[in-house]
Structure 1
Amino acid sequence: MELPYEILVYLLRFLPKSDRKSASETCRSWYIAANDQHFLKNKVVIFYKSVINDENSSPIQIFENSFTSYHNFFFNEVELSSKLNDFWIKIGENIKCLSLTSCDVNEKVFVHILQNCTNLKELHIKSCKELFMSGRLLEGKTEGLLVTKLEHLKCLSLSGNQYLTDALFNRFISASPGLEELNLSGCSLQFHLGLVKKFYPNGTDIFQNPSESVLTFHFIHQMIISRADKIKRLLFSNTLIDGAALKTLSEIKNLQLESLEVHACDQLTNTGILSLTSHQIFLKELDIGLCTRVTDQSLVYICKNLVNLENLNIQRCRAVTDLGIAELGKLIKLKSLNISRCELLTKDGLCKGICAEVNVVLEDLDIHSLNLDQTGLIMISEKLPNLRALDLSYCFNAVTDTSIQVIFKNQAFLKVLKISHCDKVSDAGLTGMGKIETETNDDGPIESNYNTEPTLPRIYLGSRAEEEIVRDAKRKRDVMRMCEKISTNSYTGYSLARLKGLRDLDLSGCNRITDVSLTYAFNFKELINLNISRCQQITHQGVEHLVKNCQSIEYINLNDCYNLNDHAVKEIVQQLKRLKQLELRGCNQLTDKTLEYVRSYCEKLKFLDVQGCRNMSPELACSIGSLPTLHTVLMTKPGPYVTDDVKQRSPAPAFLPALMRKLRLH
């Protein structure tokens, strides 16, 4: 008996997208339910380095003939020629979001695309320099017919286009009367008043005679003034916007911004931030990360005036201290906070700010590279119980076996956890096989019930490195014994396995982690992204347990895990049916057998990195590129061999030129 369509759709709503995609492959009725309009609005069709101009074998024909209407298309590093004109005619009216990144497309084809995408709401054009280079794009096309075609456009992104000018920008704006979001990040915006006087003398109507040589902030400012009642979101990251420019922008009458992104704008000063907080009090999202001139003064005004703020990024604002961070407690609606790489921040600032009392609103916290100790992290864990994403990477002193178990205890609903390069974490912490003491002042690492100190002679003749190897081996053996003898209900520690909903886990560089953790602490049904690169004690034995207990993994990074062999890769490609990205750079024990396993079992693999695997044949690595789903292979250049004191190279395979679009040689 089949379930009714409505019930299937309702049930599929509770599944993450990866599970929903797998469920859609069960039967036709499930496929139709998984492609209901409720899900289609968030699905994106991606063409990356694809040959789509071939009339006989173009993958775009699949979507031309499909009964399902897809709304979002993303083209990255592909050629869009006139051969695809029929495609835009057939499905253009269904497209609501179109993204072109580094694409080869001429002006005539682009105009044809816009004329057929009559319901377009979002248009993203990034780094398409050939499209803007002539300066004639949309010339004479922005009046009449084209305006009616883009009347629904709400978001326009022209980021990373260095040839953008006032004239080109004006043509896009003229064809988009309902614009709400504008993204000019990475464009060569000019702020010098001398250029304005040169190209726009007094009395000049800038909208009638826009410059065809430069892109000026003056022109953009005037455009925003004319549409102040509609513009809600602005993005000017990686530009030369300064405090004075932001001040004039903030003071525009009737402008009520909800989101502003000025990431990595080195010229931005407190003057602009103070004006912004005084006038744009309805802001919900603010990104001033990598703005090195921002100080505590700005943060004080942000926390005082922007009471509706939900997302705040002050990453690497190096002048911010505990004085400014202590004000964050006033942002009672804050859901996402990034204070990573702020070198002057300490535990005291956090204690007076976001940790002044229990905060159940904050869900996403990034404290990457902060100078915290173990007690500081324990305090964060106890005061922020509803975290869903936590980045603790490079917090060397804060992340220990004791503090990480407090995280496992209090943040049971975490979906993203990153503790990259926190090398004090060991198997004892991840498995929970030890005591946890958060009420004492002991800052030392977790201690197991077994004696983990090796019995060494009073005068040890080996080096410190050798002594550490012996100690690690003894610790691994002791934790393994505990895991085998003690059931999960009979010890007081907390295991990584407690985080049942974990989807993204980064343990790269945590070199004390061994097969013990992979065997006893990894059991995640929803884990999609796993990074255990540079965990050099991991072997195929741990990988066998990992892939059996975490079969939803799609992206796995095993770079520089030099103890892995071909058998480990065989287990990975056999067990992980959803695998899309496999990184094996620097795994020296891998041979051509690994490539054979990849070719035999990987049906969905898109990205493969085998750089530095010196026992692999470059010719065989090239042949892997023939897999239909694989779009990128990273491999080491074939080196020359010497015969009779003459350097020679083996001849390239006959199929190599056809595969060069898939291969990146390093």
Structure 2
Amino acid sequence: MATTLPVEVIAHVMRFLSVGDRKASALVNRQWYEASLDPALQTNTVFHLLTPFTSGSTVQSFGLRKSPNLVLNDMDGSSKSNEVVKKACQHLGQHLQSLSLKGSDITEGTFMVIVPHCYNLIRLDLSLCNSLFLSGNLLRKANDLQAAEKALVNVRELNLGSLRHLSDCVFNRLVTVMPNVEKLSLSGCTISYEFDPYVKGSETRESASVLTFVNIKAFLKQQGKKLTSLILSKTGLPGSSLRELAAVPGIAIRELNIAGNRDLNDDDILALVKKQTGLTSLDVAMCGELTSQTVLHIETHVPQMQYLNFSKCRRMREVAASKLYTLPGLQDISFAECPQVSSKALIAGFCSKPMPHLSSICLAHCTLVRDEFVEALGKAVPHLQELDLTSCLAITDRSVHAIAASFPELKRQSVAWCKNVTDYGILGLEKPSEEVGARRLCELNGGRFSRNFGTIGFFSPPSAAEMTVCKITEEEAIALLAQRDAGLPTGLQRLARLRVLDLSTCQQLSDLGITCAIRFRELVCLRLNMCTGVTDQSLVAIATNVPSLEELSISQCYQVTDEGVTTVVKRLQRLTFLDISCNDKLTNRTLASISQHCLCLQKLDVSLCSQMSHDALDKLQYHLPHLVSLQSRLVL
């Protein structure tokens, strides 16, 4: 039937598939491949071209896809890279809406060759392109300025982050040729708060050497009505600059990111929210001087807030979380590394009134979070899609049970470093007492229970040695633990939409729990770092039960061997990221299997794998030329 369906029907079916499934289905036959080229399927597709390893013919074939998003990686300034870039923009240029040159060693000449072909661009990323701005002559020529003005007039989002050599002159030329910019990022740029140090007393002259806050203010006065999003994170600007920014006449920012500017205080935020009453997104992560008063100011003046990030604002106290119910439109909130935020305050903030739009909560490293909060959250916000409880050390199996039972739409879940999470939690079972566990093991063996049963009566769950003494098979032990009634899934298996799962450092997990609970058709990322109970048996089960997996981390899983990893890489053909670092039992056989089967692999970490050699790594890189990142620290 696959060969008789019309291309249009196949393309329509592919619209309902995930990206990974769509890639796999395109390999069925020529007809399915042609269906995958439908422009309607390319809207969210991004091409990453590694310019040193891409041929011109390959780039030409990409023109058929009409993809609107292109990322050019590892441009090294060589003639080959420049040629690939030129051809890529010639064949894809008219369809491109998003172009990223992030971190590329691109020259002004190459940039001006690219620009005329990209006349439909909406998003342009020039972050970390320091060589492009080094001379300060970008767009200085009148011809270049005119060509760029024609091509880039539709750009709405401009990223100039982490540029060491960005000056007022170059910045003004760029925003002149892109008059419709709505989202601007200057994250990580060095911005001089004082006037031009080379022309004392000047408030109007552009600096040819540095980027000044005075110049940015002048741009905001001109562009204020159009600009809706501004990122000034890690720029080192003082709090007074935020007050000046908020007071710029005509400006109406909806999204503001000022993370990492440590001098900001509560009064600065008050001045901001009083002036910018249309704010819907505010990121003040790592602003250590902010307290709970900031949250109260936000609740008073901008109750329509949708996104808030208070990560690493360590002075936030209980009151910061207890009043969140006054923000009914809140969608995404982060209190990561706010150690004074308690479960009681979180219950008051999230569970007092309905919050129908809330979809993501991050409470990583909030050590006062308890099971009671997770259980209450499950009743109040059942539509949650992301929940991060990393390093919430008091979390136990009760929370995992509540998550599995209450959040059917959950897509991202992390309980990493929650060391009290056990097999019983992820299986959805109550942990039996020692006497009950001993009785049930003996009954399985057809024997009689005795109170002198010994150590094998501790069923938490049985080790291999305990199962041998009791003379029961592993399948019987799994059946005893899982207890599936009428075939209904239990434990984490209820989260059918889960895409990302992090169980790192949950050291009480074993093969029994992993084998029985980790069964997800749509899971793309699984992290089991430092789960020391994981063996090859778990890897075989993962390879069988998680067919869509693209990222797997099993660092410091000391019992894993070549056989287990080989099974994984043979069956999971979609793997793009694999972390097997710090596993001394892995040898060059693992590298040989990876080079043979992992044709989609982009990132690999084999650091501290003492049984591997540099020669084997060289062979791996030869067979996998598209490997973007290979971490091999201390491999002898």
Using the size of structure 1 for normalisation, the TM-score is 0.85
TM alignment of 1:553-592, pairs within 5 A:
553-592=549-588
Quick one: which of 381, 385, 388 aligns to 1:391?
388
1:412 aligned residue: 408
Which residue is 1:450 aligned to? Answer: 437
SS at match of 2:114: helix
Mapped contact 1:362–1:387 kept (Cα < 8 A): yes
Change beyond 3 A, Cα 1:9–1:283? farther
Say whether the 8 Å CA contact 1:625–1:632 is kept in structure 2. no
Query: What do the CA deviations read for 1:348-390 (whole angstroms, capped 9, x no partner)?
Result: 2112212213433211111111121222222222222111111
3-state DSSP of counterpart to 1:226: helix
Counterparts of 1:606-645 in structure 2, within 5 Å, are 606-628=602-624, 629-637=626-634, 639=636
Q: Counterpart amino acid of 2:137?
A: R
Distance 1:261 1:34 in 2: 38
Deviation at 1:589, TM superposition (A): 0.9
Q: Any residues of structure 2 matched to 1:643-658 within 5 Å, and which?
A: none
Match of 2:373 in 1: 376
- Closer/same/farther in 2, CA of residues 618 and 296 from structure 1, 3 Å limit: same
Q: Is the contact between residue 43 and residue 70 of structure 1 (CA under 8 Å) also seen in structure 2?
A: yes
Letter in 1 for 2:437: Y
Q: What does residue 332 of structure 2 align with?
A: 336
| More deviation, 356-365/152-161 | 356-365
Q: What CA distance in whole angstroms lies between the structure 1 residues aligned with 2:22 and 2:157?
A: 29
Which residue does 1:548 correspond to in 2?
Answer: 544
The one-letter amino acid paired with 1:184 is L
Q: What residue number does 2:478 align with?
A: 483
- Residue aligned with 1:626, SS: helix
Which structure has greater helix proportion? 2
Aligned pairs (5 A) from 1:164-563: 164-192=166-194, 195-196=195-196, 199=199, 201=201, 206=204, 209-370=205-366, 371-397=368-394, 399-434=395-430, 450=437, 474=462, 483-485=478-480, 487-489=483-485, 494-563=490-559
Moved more, 132-141 or 33-42: 33-42
Identify which range, 535-544 or 600-609, moves more after superposition. Answer: 600-609
- Mapped contact 1:88–1:113 kept (Cα < 8 A): yes
- Find out whether 1:30 has 2:32 as its counterpart: yes
Q: Residue 495 and residue 241 in structure 1: after superposition, are their counterparts in 2 closer, same or farther (change >3 A)?
A: same
Q: Which residue of 1 aligns with 2:444?
A: none
In the alignment, which residue of structure 2 is the partner of 1:153? 155
Q: 1:104 to 1:224 in 2, by over 3 A?
A: same
Q: Give the direction of change, closer, same or farther, for the CA distance of 1:446–1:579 in structure 2 (3 Å limit).
A: farther
Q: Say whether the 8 Å CA contact 1:97–1:122 is kept in structure 2.
A: yes
What SS does the corresponding residue of 2:351 show, helix, strand or coil?
coil
Specify the code of the residue in structure 1 equivalent to 2:419.
D
**Post-superposition shift, 1:271?**
2.4
1:600 aligns with 2:596: yes
Answer yes or no: is the 8 Å Cα contact 1:434–1:448 preserved in 2. no
User: Aligned equivalents of 1:472 and 1:530: distance in 2?
Assistant: 24
Give the drift of 1:122. 1.2
2:445: which partner in 1? Answer: none
Instruction: Give distance in 1, aligned partners of 2:497 and 2:107.
Output: 46
Whole-Å Cα distance in 2 between the matches of residues 224 and 323 of structure 1?
35
Query: Counterpart in 2 of 1:14?
Result: 16
Q: Which residue does 1:661 correspond to in 2? A: none
Instruction: Quote how far apart the aligned CAs of 1:323 are.
Output: 1.3
User: Secondary structure of the equivalent of 1:256?
Assistant: coil
Kept after mapping to 2: 8 A contact 1:404/1:430: yes
Give, in whole Å, the separation in 2 of the partners of 1:354 and 1:60.
55
Mark the CA change 1:594 to 1:145 in structure 2 (over 3 Å): closer, same or farther.
closer
Corresponding residue of 1:442: none
Distance across 2 between alignment mates of 1:452 and 1:536? 28
| Structure 2: segments with no counterpart, 5+ residues | 442-448, 468-473
Q: CA deviation at 1:618?
A: 2.1
Q: Summarize the Cα distance change of 1:60–1:45 in structure 2 as closer, same or farther, 3 Å threshold.
A: farther
Letter matched to residue 68 of structure 1: R
Work out the CA distance in 2 between the residues paired with 1:231 and 1:446: 62
- Tell me what 1:162 maps to: 164
Deviation at 1:328, TM superposition (A): 1.0
Conserved 8 A contact 1:581-1:605: yes
1:51 counterpart residue number: 52
Answer yes or no: is the 8 Å Cα contact 1:527–1:553 preserved in 2.
yes
What do you get for the CA RMSD once the two structures are aligned?
3.0
Q: CA deviation at 1:521?
A: 0.7
Question: How many angstroms apart in 1 are the aligned matches of 2:564 and 2:362?
Answer: 33
Q: CA deviation at 1:90?
A: 4.1
Offset, 1:298: 1.4
Residue matched to 2:446: none
- Note closer, same or farther for the CA distance 1:258–1:61 as it changes in structure 2 (3 Å cut): farther
Greater CA drift, 332-341 or 372-381: 372-381
Structure 2 CA distance for aligned equivalents of residues 157 and 305 of structure 1 = 29
Q: 1: distance between equivalents of 2:271 and 2:17? A: 44
Distance 1:196 1:453, change over 3 A: farther
Contact 2:612–2:635 (CA under 8 A) maintained in structure 1: no
Secondary structure of the residue that 2:99 maps to in structure 1?
A: strand
Offset of residue 345 of structure 1: 0.6
Relative distance call for 1:143 and 1:59 in structure 2 (3 A) is closer
How many positions carry a matched residue from both structures? 610
Per-residue deviation, residues 142-176 of structure 1 (Å, max 9, x unmatched): 64332122111111111000111111111111111
Pair 1:70 & 2:67 matched = yes
Give the distance between the partners of 1:20 and 1:493, measured in 2 at CA.
Answer: 27
CA shift at 1:299, angstroms?
0.8
Match of 2:471 in 1: none
2:124 aligns with 123
Q: 2:43 aligns with which of 35, 41, 44?
A: 41
SS state of the match for residue 291, structure 1?
coil
Distance 1:447 1:127, change over 3 A: farther
CA distance in 2, matches of 1:637, 1:281: 53
TM-score w.r.t. the length of structure 2 is 0.89
Report the Cα distance in structure 2 between the residues aligned to 1:636 and 1:40, rounded to whole angstroms. 38
CA distance in 1, matches of 2:439, 2:582: 31
Query: Which residue identity does 2:287 align to in structure 1?
Result: C
Partner of 1:139: 140
**Is the deviation greater in 622-631 or in 159-168?**
622-631
Residue 17 of structure 2 aligns to which amino acid in structure 1?
A: L
- Any conservation in 2 of the 1:434–1:446 contact (CA below 8 Å)? no
Unaligned runs of 5+ in 1: 53-57, 436-444, 461-466, 640-666
Q: Distance between the aligned counterparts of 1:482 and 1:384, measured in 2? A: 35
Q: Is the 8 A contact 1:337 1:364 kept in 2?
A: yes
Task: Report the Cα offset of residue 9 of structure 1.
Answer: 3.6
Query: Does the residue aligned with 2:584 lie in a helix, a strand or coil?
Result: coil
- Contact 1:416–1:504, Cα closer than 8 Å, also in 2: yes
- Following the alignment from structure 1 to structure 2, what is the Cα–Cα distance between the partners of residues 109 and 514? 55
* Alignment partner of 1:105 is 2:100: no
Q: Distance in 2 between matches of 1:637 and 1:348?
A: 46
Distance 1:591 1:9, change over 3 A: same
